[in-house]
Amino acid sequence: MARPIVAIVGRPNVGKSTIFNRIVGDRLAIVEDMPGVTRDRLYGVGEWLDHNFSVIDTGGIEIEGDSELLKSVRAQAELAIEESDVIIFMVDGKAGITAADSEVAELLFRAKKPIVLAVNKIDNIKRQDDIYEFYSLGFGTPYGISGSHGTGLGDLLDAVVGSFPENEEEEYGEDVIRVALIGRPNVGKSSLVNAILGEDRVIVSDVAGTTRDAIDTPFERDGQKYVIIDTAGMRKRGKVYENTEKYSVMRAMKAIERADVALVLINGEEGIIEQDKHVAGYAHEAGKAAIFVVNKWDMVEKDEKTMKEFSQKIRDHFLFMTYAPIVFLSAKTKSRLHKLLPVVVQVAEQHALRIATHVLNDVISDAVAINPPPTDKGRRLRINYATQVTVKPPTIIVFVNDPEMMHFSYERYLENKIRAAFGFVGTPMRLFSRKKSDDE
């Protein structure tokens, strides 16, 4: 099931980013600290009362063009309203209600989304009375919080998770592979959908951002059932949407959460740009299987070395996704299109692959024998055993004498040995170290 999306909205300097950091905590460190990982603090993952949810910090949405404050705030709020399930409307308890607050409130009234009002900078009991004027905004109980001290967040998050939509029944069976097409505007997502389906179900135009609705398209090929989740889905038009690069990441978040396999589309004609890393990075953080799809390959002047050189560029730019296969094709001419779905099936199977504990431990034992863990101040990391605890993505816990002695480089070594033995093509892996308890 897709995680609910919570957006933090408000005028500048009310403390949105501080609260965002409080909610997502150290979960931002999930992605390895490797060269090529684009760190973007626009979104993160929060946890509260057994709920997992995505969080958007609209302070990270930079609106290009007209820089007038109210227009910028309005634009950010509109993006959040469209993409989120619940909105935290943040105001400043010290400053009181401002014109910008009223502007955002007016937008949110029409949003028909659950709104939770957070009054920040209530740093002590004396300031509690400052929250009462905010009742006049019309959003019910204002929750007094302090970003600097972390107080009041529990009550706020209780209200947020209490506003989540009811879990809908999964509409597709386990045998259906759910595929999300993600990528920046104008890489050819809609054209690829049409090429795969063999019919023009989606409006295609050379103008970036012309797809009007996010469409789930079920189809069957060679006995395998699929659903394509098209991420374009731009319901509103205008400069804000076309000029905000991060908008495509927000749009992709929902689709990625619901998918088994993410097709990361890259424009072969234009090459790789920084925004491609933003979009791909979210698929990686979400633990989804992934395939790089280089589209518009028919437009590229090439010789026998071109494909190899372009593949190397992808590997150099996306060092954190070396597991993802690369498929070159042209949605327009359908050249090499037949190669795509077999790879989708392969990575979906690998994403759901489960390894028996005894087989996994044979590989771990061999890896340790070949390259024993290094010592640290006379102590050596001792690996007791490992077990795979879940799939999608494959997640393995390694029980050790002291998790703090598991160096990142040795963890990566073990992952490489596991991949060499079992494949796990196209899927990220999660490897966690845990101290072996006495009763285990």
pLDDT in tens, 390-413: 999 999 999 999 998 998 899 999
> Does 374 count as an annotated binding residue?
no
At residue 11, the pLDDT reads 83
Mean pLDDT rounded to a whole number for the chain: 83
Average pLDDT over residues 239-247: 49
> Does 162 count as an annotated binding residue?
no
> Does 74 count as an annotated binding residue?
no
Q: In terms of CATH architecture, what is 176-350?
A: 3-Layer(aba) Sandwich (3.40)
> Does 15 count as an annotated binding residue?
yes
Q: pLDDT digits over 177-209, tens only?
A: 999 998 877 788 888 988 998 865 554 544 444
Assign 3-state DSSP to the chain and report helix, strand, coil percentages, each to 5.
40, 20, 40
Q: How far apart are CA 81 and CA 75, in angstroms?
A: 10
- Check: pTM over 0.75? Answer yes or no: no
> Does 21 count as an annotated binding residue?
no
At residue 233, the pLDDT reads 40
Q: pLDDT digits over 308-330, tens only?
A: 999 999 999 999 999 999 999 99
* DSSP sequence for 390-435: ETTTTEEEEEES-GGG--HHHHHHHHHHHHHHH--TT---EEEEEE
> Does 300 count as an annotated binding residue?
no
> Does 57 count as an annotated binding residue?
yes
> Does 361 count as an annotated binding residue?
no
Average pLDDT over residues 120-141: 89
Distances (CA, A) of 338 to 175, 313, 329, 342: 21, 24, 9, 8
> Does 165 count as an annotated binding residue?
no
CATH of domain 5-162: 3.40.50.300
pLDDT surpassing 70 at residue 102: yes
Confidence tier at 374 by pLDDT (50, 70, 90): confident
> Does 302 count as an annotated binding residue?
no
> Does 10 count as an annotated binding residue?
yes
Average pLDDT over residues 428-440: 81
> Does 65 count as an annotated binding residue?
no
> Does 299 count as an annotated binding residue?
no
> Does 61 count as an annotated binding residue?
yes
The residue with greater pLDDT, 76 or 63, is 76
> Does 297 count as an annotated binding residue?
yes
> Does 13 count as an annotated binding residue?
yes
Average pLDDT over residues 256-280: 87
Average pLDDT over residues 297-310: 91
At residue 187, the pLDDT reads 80
> Does 230 count as an annotated binding residue?
yes
> Does 296 count as an annotated binding residue?
yes
At residue 293, the pLDDT reads 97
Residue-range domain boundaries for the chain = 5-162, 176-350, 357-435
> Does 213 count as an annotated binding residue?
no
**Worst-scoring range by mean pLDDT, 63-72, 78-87, 117-126, 133-142?**
63-72
The residue with greater pLDDT, 213 or 429, is 429
Matching fold, domains 5-162 and 176-350: yes
> Does 184 count as an annotated binding residue?
yes
> Does 218 count as an annotated binding residue?
no
CATH of domain 357-435: 3.30.300.20
> Does 264 count as an annotated binding residue?
no
> Does 58 count as an annotated binding residue?
yes
How many CA atoms within 13 Å lie on the side-chain side of 100? 22
pLDDT surpassing 60 at residue 36: no
Distances (CA, A) of 186 to 132, 148, 211, 373: 48, 42, 10, 47
Cα 412 from chain centroid?
22
Confidence tier at 167 by pLDDT (50, 70, 90): low
> Does 251 count as an annotated binding residue?
no
